[in-house]
């Protein structure tokens, strides 16, 4: 259990540090990867809705505390993301690499749109919906490019930390 928590914490801290130092300056063809979303997908796809939601909540809270967004916004969005992916995972029977890639794209689009919507709801709307749409596409494209490099690594760390292995459905 402790090993699992430490592994999840390592994935989260690694993703946050790389995101704020390396990737914050990188744009590949206008695309910007969001490693925290990748981490949530990796964790939720190899566990259940509770772990997915809890990891999402922790990741979102850490992201909010480090950044200057109203604290709790990313926690709300990322917990929902983790729960949704953890719930939907049992229906994904194919082991094709296209499955995580599709989930990563969908999660990236959902994450940016949901954050934009919550910020609008809180009346912190200094950006247009056009910007939200463009950013969502940029993050989805960036994450898709980063998936083959980062996703197997994150998933490997999460899977190896499990005390009891769960059979893939």
Q: Determine, following the binding rule CB under 8 A, whether residue 38 of this chain makes contact with another protein.
A: no
With a CB cutoff of 8 Å and minimum separation 6, the contacts of 4 are 161, 162, 163
Q: Determine, following the binding rule CB under 8 A, whether residue 23 of this chain makes contact with another protein.
A: yes
Cα–Cα distance between 45 and 28 in angstroms, integer? Answer: 26
Q: Determine, following the binding rule CB under 8 A, whether residue 60 of this chain makes contact with another protein.
A: yes
Among 116, 140, 141, 154, binds another protein (CB under 8 A): 116
Q: Which two structure tokens, joined as six digits, stand for 61?
A: 């809270």
In the complex, minimum distance from the CB of residue 99 to another protein, in angstroms, rounded to a whole number:
19
Q: Running DSSP on this structure, what letter comes out for residue 168?
A: -
Cα–Cα distance between 89 and 93 in angstroms, integer? Answer: 8
With a CB cutoff of 8 Å and minimum separation 6, the contacts of 77 are 60, 111, 114, 115, 118
Q: Which is nearer to another protein, 103 or 140 (CB)?
A: 140
Interacting residues with another protein (CB under 8 A): 13, 16-25, 32, 34, 48-50, 53-54, 57, 60-73, 75-76, 79-80, 83, 86-87, 90, 112, 115-116, 119, 122, 124-127, 131, 135, 139, 164, 166
């Amino acid at each position: 259990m402790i090993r699992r928590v430490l592994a999840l914490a390592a994935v989260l801290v690694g993703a946050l540090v790389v995101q704020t130092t390396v990737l914050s300056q990188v744009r590949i063809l206008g695309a910007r990867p969001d490693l925290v979303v990748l981490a949530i997908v990796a964790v939720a796809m190899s566990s259940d809705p509770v772990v997915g939601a809890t990891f999402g909540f922790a990741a979102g809270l850490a992201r909010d505390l480090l950044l200057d967004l109203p604290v709790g916004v990313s926690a709300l969005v990322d917990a929902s993301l983790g729960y949704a992916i953890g719930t939907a995972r049992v229906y994904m029977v194919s082991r094709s690499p296209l499955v995580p890639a599709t989930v990563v794209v969908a999660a990236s689009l959902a994450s940016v749109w949901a954050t934009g919507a919550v910020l609008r709801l809180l009346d912190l709307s200094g950006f247009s919906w056009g910007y939200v749409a463009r950013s969502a596409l940029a993050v989805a494209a960036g994450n898709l490019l980063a998936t083959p490099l980062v996703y197997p690594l994150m998933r490997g760390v999460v899977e190896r930390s499990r005390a009891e292995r769960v059979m893939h459905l």
